[in-house]
Chain A
Amino acid sequence: MTEAATSTRHPRKARRELTVVGAALVAFSLGLVIQAWQIAEKGGWSANGPAVFPLATAGGMVLFSAAFLIQARRKPDVHLEEHIANERADSHMGTVIKVGAVLLGYAAAVGIIGYALATSAMFAVVCRLLGSRRWVLNIAIAIGLSVAVYYAFTELLGVRLPSGLLGGVI
């Protein structure tokens, strides 16, 4: 199936997705207005006070979020809908969620188990998730890369990275 065919078959889905994005942007922008208002109430409304830029930013967000939402509903951007249809056809968001989970685990673990170990595990698992099925190769490259980076940064550049569980070894 060609990309053009994909886009003509699913314009409604793309439009629905854009509407959801527009609504989320409007909600987010209104949240910013509330926060900017609170800043103004606390810090004053003077022209050179702390609230002018937050208010202007929140106002701009509301204005253009609303324009985005209206455009998505009333005057669809054919280019954008086609772009989204292509994204929908080519993307596997499940992979992103799995990679995201690995990154969260990495953020939690790197300080405890150490840079080289955590980075090796992250690299090898992400490669596997992205379709590289040769575990031995994945692990070998992961260890080589992370140990090289660890030594280059800690020994050559003097940047501090946690050694963790391998404290006595590397």
Chain B
Amino acid sequence: MDVLPNILSGFATALQPEYLLFSAVGVLLGTVVGVLPGIGPPMTIALLLPLTYTMEPTAALILFAGIYFGALYGGSITSILMNTPGESAHVITALEGHPMAKAGRAGVALTISIMGAVVAGTVATIGLTFIAPLIARLAGTFQATDYFALMVFAFASVTSLVGTSLIRGMLSLFVGLWAGLIGLDFISGQERFTMGIPELSDGISEVLVVIGLFAIGEALHGCARAMKPDDTVAVKGSLWPNAAERRRIWKPWLRGSTLGFFFGSMPTGGSEIPTFLSYSLERRLSKHKDEFGRGAVEGMAGPEAAASASFSGVLVPLLTLGIPTSATAAILLSAFQVYNIQPGPRLFESSDTIVWPLIASLYIGNIMLFLINLPMIRLWVKILRIPKPFMLAGILVFGTLGIYSLSNSMVDLLIVYVIGLVGLLMRRYDFPIAPAILGVILGPLMETQFRRSLDIGGGDFSVFFTRPLTLVVLLLATAMILLPIVSKRLGRAKNALQDLEEGAMEGTEPSAARGGEPIAGERTEDGGPVDAMPGTSAPPQATSASSQATSEVKVDQR
């Protein structure tokens, strides 16, 4: 497969004025919605889904590419100015960017963030352009058992590696799997888990689950929380980093981009791990260690680049294998399915007129992000001042619209509100949302591959253990689950990440709950930092940097 002619033909399509307009509109809409406090990329895409229902697929996907990048940058703005990370990718942005903003360098922090997003997004899209066709060709040789094993691996990594508790992660996953099973069995036509309700025979659409758990659940959770005033920092002074800052940021951008793309393209649950690793790496390499936690530019530039690059990275398994590895990717997959496009190795052959313009539009979306958002930074800040009652009521209006415009069905509305209630309870009891979303979207695909494997193997389960690739991936998945339980060091690292995340999102004391036992990133008595990940050190001073956090509204996309 020749990449260059294909990508050039993709550009020929994506550069048409109509598609350029869709890309610009996508970036604008993504930023406008993503900048609202607590609304992360998955919810932004879920809320904006209905806009594309009547569009032709290429236009819709180009619009989504713009929304994707716009939403990510919108989240950075909120994290820097309000210290309310909408999702885990922005926790470090809040840790370092908010202190910068409070020190009068908000404009510089926002510019470093947007330029880092453009650099990393472009680096990662170049990686996607050349690596995705190779993996797609390789994936053409994969068998049903391999796909089944890869999906098990994706489930294992999302629930185990990035969740807060294995038990709650697994419960969230199984609830998602259950919701995905509701309806008629696709082979035998038998009803499953429909409880005799005829409306459930067609199953529960993924869009209902996504909007219910993310948008409605988040809005109801916001309704339940006390309405405290937000602490927004004004943008004053220069937007441009000075010469010393410019020298300090380009290497972290490139290192963050590499980490982000590498981990994003692996089935390891998206942007959480590369952002934390990038932060640890930059702290270790920096000549200004004392500034970390108080607004270190490289401490923000690296992880921001990692988050942005991992966003393009997750498109590798999504486009080539049809396997989403983060909540955002799962929602993108459901958007693909609205247009009857099934990502996977054949996408590059059967839908190359769609996939190459989409990849080309990722390059264009990055440039648009820069051209549109840089002059509008001061305008976005004003959106942060929308009163919470209007914002929450608005989320309910648009979440409801996303469902009602699909079917004009009262039953669907009732279902989405019930799912929203489940989403509220999951937030209250700290269940991660991402495994449920992956379960409902990936579960039916996994069952298809499982049953196809058994058909090929004559109903014998040994089919999963005789093919080396399948066996290796299944063993890796098992290790992924068992490792944090068996390894105390890794278990501590997970707790540390959880503390940091909660600290940044809620402004709590990281180790208070464990009776002051030192955790990663905090100083031990001898003054040395405790390692967060084997071989790395975690961010310090999470508490001080995040003590101002006011996160009545937050999205959990772990």
Q: Which chain B positions have C-beta within 8 A of A74?
A: none
A82-B508, A122-B397, A123-B393 known; A61+B171 contact, CB < 8 A: yes
Q: How many residues of B contact A (CB 8 A)?
A: 71
Contact A162 B408 (CB under 8 A): yes
- B residues 211-237 near A (Cβ < 8 Å) are 220, 223-227
Q: Which of B50, B405, B424 has the most CB of A within 10 A?
A: B405
Give Cα A54 to B410, complex, Å.
28
User: Chain B's nearest CB lies how many Å from the CB of A85?
Assistant: 10
Contact B405 A84 (CB under 8 A): no
Q: Which chain A positions have C-beta within 8 A of B187?
A: 50
Q: Does A113 contact B (CB under 8 A)?
A: no
Q: Which chain B positions have C-beta within 8 A of A146?
A: 397
A64-B171, A145-B394 known; A48+B401 contact, CB < 8 A: no
Q: Which chain B positions have C-beta within 8 A of A57?
A: 174, 177-178, 181
- Stretch of B12-20, B104-112, B297-305, B447-455 at the chain-chain interface: B447-455
Q: How many residues of A contact B (CB 8 A)?
A: 74
User: Chain B's nearest CB lies how many Å from the CB of A88?
Assistant: 9
Q: Which chain A positions have C-beta within 8 A of B171?
A: 25, 61, 64-65, 68
Give Cα A65 to B227, complex, Å.
33
Q: Does B140 contact A (CB under 8 A)?
A: no
Q: Which chain B positions have C-beta within 8 A of A67?
A: 167
User: Chain A's nearest CB lies how many Å from the CB of B448?
Assistant: 10
A48-B459, A83-B430, A84-B429 known; A96+B51 contact, CB < 8 A: no
Q: How many inter-chain contacts with C-beta < 8 Å in the A-B complex?
A: 191
A18-B429, A82-B508, A87-B428 known; A104+B513 contact, CB < 8 A: no
User: Chain A's nearest CB lies how many Å from the CB of B201?
Assistant: 14
Q: Which of B188, B506, B509, B514 contacts A78 (CB 8 A)?
A: B514
User: Chain A's nearest CB lies how many Å from the CB of B309?
Assistant: 30
Contact B401 A149 (CB under 8 A): yes
Contact A110 B389 (CB under 8 A): no
Contact B410 A107 (CB under 8 A): yes
Q: Which of A68, A95, A149 contacts B223 (CB 8 A)?
A: A95
Q: Is the interface of A mostly helix, strand, loop or mixed?
A: helix
- A residues 107-129 near B (Cβ < 8 Å) are 107-108, 110-111, 115, 119, 122-123, 126-129
19 A-B pairs (CB sep. < 8 Å): A35-B195, A46-B459, A47-B460, A48-B454, A48-B455, A50-B188, A50-B190, A54-B192, A64-B171, A79-B513, A80-B430, A83-B502, A92-B226, A99-B396, A103-B400, A108-B410, A115-B404, A123-B394, A157-B54
Which B residues lie at the A interface, using CB under 8 A?
50-51, 53-54, 164-165, 167-168, 170-171, 173-175, 177-178, 181, 185, 187-188, 190, 192-193, 195, 220, 223-227, 387-390, 392-394, 396-397, 400-401, 404-405, 408, 410, 413-414, 417, 421, 424-425, 428-430, 443, 447, 450-451, 454-455, 459-461, 498, 502, 506, 508-509, 512-514, 552
| Seed contacts A48-B455, A108-B410; 13 additional CB < 8 Å A-B pairs | A3-B506, A32-B178, A43-B190, A47-B461, A50-B185, A60-B174, A80-B165, A82-B513, A83-B502, A90-B552, A106-B400, A132-B389, A153-B401
Which A residues lie at the B interface, using CB under 8 A?
3-4, 7, 18, 21, 25, 32, 35, 39, 42-43, 46-50, 52-54, 57-58, 60-61, 64-65, 67-68, 71, 77-80, 82-84, 86-87, 90-93, 95-96, 99-100, 103-104, 106-108, 110-111, 115, 119, 122-123, 126-132, 141, 145-146, 149, 153, 157-162
